[in-house]
Structure 1
């Protein structure tokens, strides 16, 4: 799909979304419909909130929706939208993607990060805690700051 074609397609989908779902109505319903149309993360594949197109086109979707006062996911669920959703999409199983992505984007579920270590703070790359399987259970080894 050419860039011009993709932009026109996105504009058409946003118009459909706004026509069929009141931006001033239920936030969860509106964002769920946005996800279903592939306008959540446009670069994700179809069926997982995307259309399989260039990520730079998400800005066009966001601008069009902002122009009509539509609710946005990221102010209410920034960790979920910016970190957890892409991680589930990239590394999750098909079942995990089906289970988590739509409720995360619609803000039906709010995601957060709850870790802090003495030498890493909230730097996920510096974490040293590990989960070790012990029979049927997992034991988390490490320290938390707070």
Structure 2
């Protein structure tokens, strides 16, 4: 009897994490659908308040060093440039996920766009289990530090530094 109780105690948090992990995965799909539709404002509106304090809609900090832009760029322009370079999203493959304290989910995907395949990280946060998850950080590994950046359509996109 004690053995079964111990297994319940160990497995219970893991089962609870599956719900929040699935919610975060669904958020990534939703964000990418909005991206493909060009609804950039809706992506921004689904971020945490802390994200919005640090990264305003007009001054989106280029924390990912994407294509060597200046330090501050407009969020809308950033996402438009991303779409111009990468193209539409065609496939997402989850490569890593981690749930921290039932309120933070980190997901890493191999994202395949029209022009490139690369690694993207998403961090979703909620204050408590009664709140929905919001995007806290987003990272594009365009430098290939976490996985190979694969150019799919050579010659189609010309990136200028």
TM-score by length of 1: 0.22
Q: Relative to total residues, which structure has the larger helix share, 1 or 2?
A: 1
